[in-house]
Amino acid sequence: MSLGAAGMGEQGKRYEAWLMLEVALAFRNRGHQATWITCHVGGPPRKALFRGSPGSMKKCGVTVDAPGYIQLINNGRHYELHNSIQFRGVSGALHEVDLSIIPARVGNGLRAAGGGYPDGKPCVALELKRFKLTGSFSIGLMRAMLLAAVDLSLELYPSAPKTSFDIAHISPTGVFACGELRESAWIAVTTVANIGASQRLAARYGASVEATFQVDIRQVAGTNTRVGILVDQLLQYL
């Protein structure tokens, strides 16, 4: 299967595509069905098309540039894994999430309506930062991630009382990306070791940082231990 997307020459987007596929394989190794769903028309039939820039959910089978996604199924529960989807916050602003997992009913509903942006928080949100050699996942990057999280959902604290309606989710359709009020995973994944004060800030607000998360081209696909540990964390949110 070949990889394609506008802007996929950028190393950051290749890192995004690599982790998306590795996460899917880790889910498969844990008993999930993980299937790539092709949405574009024309071009090589076995080409996996990723988003090369932030965008909306597009209707399948209509355009040559509609990105695909990964369908995750386990015990009758259906989810979708996407890259670079933008989610709409309570302010009306759009926030890109590098890798996100949402219930399949949300994706199906948007595609049936011709496409659009999910409202509110995803069940899983991964912010990815790849640095060429050296760099730092600065506190400024963490602030930006947490601000997006606040706009998508004000309920960041694990001990927050659970109610049947999340006031942070104002949706024209009344359908929110992760259903009724519930916890969601917010994790920053970066290739560097230097994360400064980001981890302390993240932990205070229910997020986390995974440092030195490197691509090892010598590894067999689906055998990355770090990815497996990450997916074990994500399972509690699905």
Q: Which of 179, 160, 163 is nearest to 171 (CA)?
A: 179
- Distances from the Cα of 181 to the Cα of 21, 98, 120, 163, 233, angstroms: 29, 22, 10, 6, 19
The pLDDT value given to residue 23: 97
Where do runs of H (alpha helix) occur along the chain?
Answer: 11-29, 104-112, 139-152, 198-204, 225-234
Phi, psi (5° rounding) for residue 95?
A: -130, 120
Domain locations in the chain as residue ranges: 2-237
The pLDDT value given to residue 20: 96
How far is it, in rounded angstroms, from Cα 39 to Cα 216? Answer: 29
How far is it, in rounded angstroms, from Cα 190 to Cα 134? Answer: 11
CATH number of 2-237: 3.40.91
* DSSP letter, residue 6: T
How far is it, in rounded angstroms, from Cα 59 to Cα 53? Answer: 17
Cβ atoms of 38 and 68 closer than 8 Å: yes
Q: Give tens-digit pLDDT for 175-215.
A: 456 654 457 889 999 999 999 899 999 988 888 999 999 88
- Distances from the Cα of 68 to the Cα of 3, 23, 136, 170, 224, angstroms: 11, 15, 31, 27, 23
Amino acid letter, 204 = R
How far is it, in rounded angstroms, from Cα 72 to Cα 24? Answer: 8
How far is it, in rounded angstroms, from Cα 108 to Cα 235? Answer: 22
How far is it, in rounded angstroms, from Cα 215 to Cα 82? Answer: 20
Cβ atoms of 55 and 214 closer than 8 Å: no
pTM: predicted TM-score of the whole model, two decimal places: 0.85
- Distances from the Cα of 107 to the Cα of 9, 16, 171, 236, angstroms: 27, 20, 15, 21
Euclidean distance between the first and the last CA atom of the chain, given in angstroms as a whole number: 28
Helix (H, G, I), strand (E, B) or coil at 227: helix
* pLDDT mean values, one per 10 residues, the chain (238 residues): 43 91 96 93 75 91 90 96 92 92 92 90 93 85 91 54 36 50 82 91 89 85 92 93
